[in-house]
Amino acid sequence: MSAIEEMIRKRAYELWEQAGCPDGRSYEFWFAARTEIEAAQSSNRQEPRAKAPPAGDRVVAAAAKPAVEKGPKAPASAKPKPRKS
């Protein structure tokens, strides 16, 4: 693992802990940490972009896909009825 990837991993873990250790959001924290680290480095010098975490590697929490929040479904009675012409 490169030095930049190690910095990203540590920062992602810090962000994850600050958020209360939620499950299924590892990529969210990885990319937030990567953005922070790269922004700090680009102000100092140009560095190549860090790669995404390796497949199967646990960055912060195990997750196959980023979590997607869905709102509650409306009951069938709340749906509009088709108009008759």
Report the pLDDT averaged over residues 72-78: 57
Give the domain ranges of the chain: 1-66
Q: What single string gives the DSSP state of each residue in 6-69?
A: HHHHHHHHHHHHHTT--TT-HHHHHHHHHHHHHHHHHHH---PPPPPPPTT--SSS--SS----
Per residue in 12-71, pLDDT (tens digit) is: 999 999 999 999 999 999 999 999 999 988 887 655 566 666 665 555 554 444 555 555
